Amino acid sequence: MKILAVLLALFLAAIQAQLWFGKGSLPRVTQLRQELAQAQAENDKARAHNAQILAELRDLREGLEMVEEKARTELGFIKPDEVFVQYQRR
């Protein structure tokens, strides 16, 4: 019976050693969680930056289209290699 108690104690010690010093140990898990949180924060920052750049790009595209439309309707702007045709209704 004493041998069984010693074997169980050794088994428990081996499990505890894995928990504290093994590949999936608590300190390693804590370190990985911190690295994950840092990576997620960097990703969020990059996503925000990308969204800002996309908004600026959209504004530039829409702004240029609006300027071109105004130039065409109000100033008679014609691009090179375009043919301007005007007709009147009777």
Boundaries of every domain in the chain = 27-74
**Contacts of 29-32 spanning 24+ positions with Cβ under 8 A:** none
Helices and strands counted in the chain (H then E): 2, 0
User: Cβ distance 19 to 26 under 8 Å?
Assistant: yes
Phi, psi of 18 (to 5 degrees): -65, -40
Per-residue pLDDT of the chain (90 residues; tens, 9 = 90+): 888 888 888 888 888 877 777 777 778 888 999 999 999 999 999 999 999 999 988 888 888 787 888 888 888 888 888 887 778 887
Closest by CA to 82, choosing from 11, 64, 72, 74, is 72
> Interior CA angle at 26 toward 20 and 31, to 5°?
130
